[in-house]
Structure 1
Amino acid sequence: MRVKSAETRATADHPAAVSPGLRERRRLQTRAEITDAALRLFAEGGVASTTVDDIAAAAGVSARTFFRYFATKEEAALPVHQDFNEAIAAGLPSVDPLGDVRDEVDRLYALTVLPYTDNDSPSAQRMLQVSQLIRKEPSLRSAQVRQTVERTEDLMAALSAKFGPERADQMELRLAIDISGAVARAALDTWVGLLEAGKAADLAEIYGQARAFAR
């Protein structure tokens, strides 16, 4: 990372001075700064006219550092989908291999909406900003679709291994993932639409209604 030299010196002088927690916070901060720069530039001038170099310069990092965090400029504006992946990955160890496949997948996807249940949180505000841009920018919508497809395939493989071949019927597992993903997306889209219209919106309540309807 770009703070490597500073961290290396601090660790050499004081081995306990830099903890993994600090390094992770710095990583997340750098990623957030790149995303904030991308969102701001995209909102001001559009995706097509904004380059990776523009984003890197606005974030105060090099293009090389940019590519340590994101593969494309579009991905830099979609951190919420990386957050989805990380939430699902964090929840995978808690999946009960003997549990009901539909229920376990449903609980796994419920983790993806938790960061946005506080409307005033930075995560929720960023979700609103990203959603507004996606509606205006076809390239961001395409990137979102690609990420969703990749996440589905990765999750299929992970859950197939978790449940084992004797319980992981591929069609049922795929349907469980698609249904739970659609419920999460519908709840988030409804929540975003209400907030944009200046109306009260409780994501936890909306998501609970969506889950109940899907069941």
Structure 2
Amino acid sequence: MNVTTARRGGLLSTERRTQPGPDPLPLSQRRREALHLDIARAAVTLFTSRGVTATTGEHIAQAVGISSRTLWRHFPRKESCVRPLLTAGLDAAVAALEHWPANIRLVAYLESLQEHPALATPDPAVLDLLRLARTDPDLRAVWLQAHDDALPVIAGLLARRSGGRPDDLDVQVHAAIVNSALRVGAENFALHSASTCPTATPHLLRALRLAVQGLPY
């Protein structure tokens, strides 16, 4: 049986699992993704210990064991090195919505996933990154851009559910509400609840419940 490598968990997780499916990604792509996550983790570790300003691209490259030239071939600036940690979690959240049944409301469906074995605990590196992004404008720009890039995908999923079009005003507004709820829920969890709660799922669900009240999803 063929397996495909997939993100597992939710918005704050970057773990992977294998599941039945088509042929896996090409080895070169899997290696590239693995390198990107290694770079992202090294960047967060250095940003946390040294500070963002004091950390250079050369420091990040050295921590990963690659040349500075290789690092800059993959990322345009040091702050963008963290993006793979953020997009991994968003990809997982969007992938979960891809399987949203037509007869179940959004929050009820996400609640049904809480006990799924694929759900993982939050990645400590992501939590550290969100705390850093609270005060560093360049890291926050990367975080906000990751969510902005996810917005059309979420709009497409909601449009398919509602029978509308992704560029309809109401669909775009609803997508922005869901997207913002995920973002604010993740930030709030990282800043206030991560030390006492083993998983972010209840926190994110609460944010979504507040966001979708009155929406047709």
Please report the TM-score for the alignment, with normalisation by the length of structure 1: 0.64
Larger gyration radius, structure 1 or structure 2:
1
What is the 5 A alignment of 1:20-59?
20=25, 22-59=27-64
RMSD (Å) for aligned C-alpha atoms: 3.9
TM-aligned CA distance change 1:116 to 1:213, over 3 Å: farther
What is the 5 A alignment of 1:137-148?
137-148=136-147
Higher relative contact order at CA 8 Å, sep ≥6: structure 1 or structure 2? Answer: 2
Please report the TM-score for the alignment, with normalisation by the length of structure 2: 0.64
Q: Which runs of 4+ in 1 moved over 4 A?
A: 19-25, 88-96, 103-108, 114-117, 153-156
Q: Please tell me whether the aligned partners of residues 105 and 176 of structure 1 are also in contact (alpha carbons under 8 angstroms).
A: no
SS in 1 for 2:55: coil
Higher strand share: 2
Give the aligned partner of residue 180 of structure 1.
178
| Whole-angstrom CA distance in 2 between matches of 1:74 and 1:42 | 9
What is the 5 A alignment of 1:88-127?
90=95, 94=99, 118-119=120-121, 124-127=123-126
Indicate the larger mover: 87-96 or 55-64: 87-96
Task: Decide which of 55, 59, 65 is 2:70's aligned counterpart.
Answer: 65
Q: Please tell me whether the aligned partners of residues 75 and 143 of structure 1 are also in contact (alpha carbons under 8 angstroms).
A: yes
| Whole-angstrom CA distance in 1 between matches of 2:131 and 2:85 | 13
TM-aligned CA distance change 1:85 to 1:65, over 3 Å: farther
Give the aligned partner of residue 136 of structure 1.
135
TM-aligned CA distance change 1:115 to 1:134, over 3 Å: farther
| Whole-angstrom CA distance in 1 between matches of 2:94 and 2:197 | 31
Q: Please tell me whether the aligned partners of residues 164 and 171 of structure 2 are also in contact (alpha carbons under 8 angstroms).
A: no
C-alpha displacement at 1:47, in angstroms? 2.0
| Whole-angstrom CA distance in 2 between matches of 1:207 and 1:159 | 19
| Whole-angstrom CA distance in 2 between matches of 1:172 and 1:106 | 22
Percent identity of equivalent pairs: 24
Give the aligned partner of residue 86 of structure 1.
91
| Whole-angstrom CA distance in 2 between matches of 1:79 and 1:132 | 16
| Whole-angstrom CA distance in 1 between matches of 2:71 and 2:63 | 11
TM-aligned CA distance change 1:41 to 1:184, over 3 Å: same
Give the aligned partner of residue 205 of structure 1.
202
User: Aligned residue pairs: how many?
Assistant: 185
SS in 2 for 1:77: helix
Higher helix share: 1
Q: Please tell me whether the aligned partners of residues 90 and 150 of structure 2 are also in contact (alpha carbons under 8 angstroms).
A: yes
Indicate the larger mover: 186-195 or 129-138: 186-195
Q: Please tell me whether the aligned partners of residues 116 and 124 of structure 1 are also in contact (alpha carbons under 8 angstroms).
A: no
| Whole-angstrom CA distance in 1 between matches of 2:157 and 2:206 | 26
SS in 2 for 1:37: helix
Unaligned runs of 5+ in 2: 1-23
| Whole-angstrom CA distance in 2 between matches of 1:184 and 1:66 | 30
C-alpha displacement at 1:159, in angstroms? 5.2
Which residue identity is paired with 2:177? I
TM-aligned CA distance change 1:42 to 1:193, over 3 Å: closer
| Whole-angstrom CA distance in 2 between matches of 1:150 and 1:22 | 26
Which residue identity is paired with 1:62? S
SS in 1 for 2:197: coil
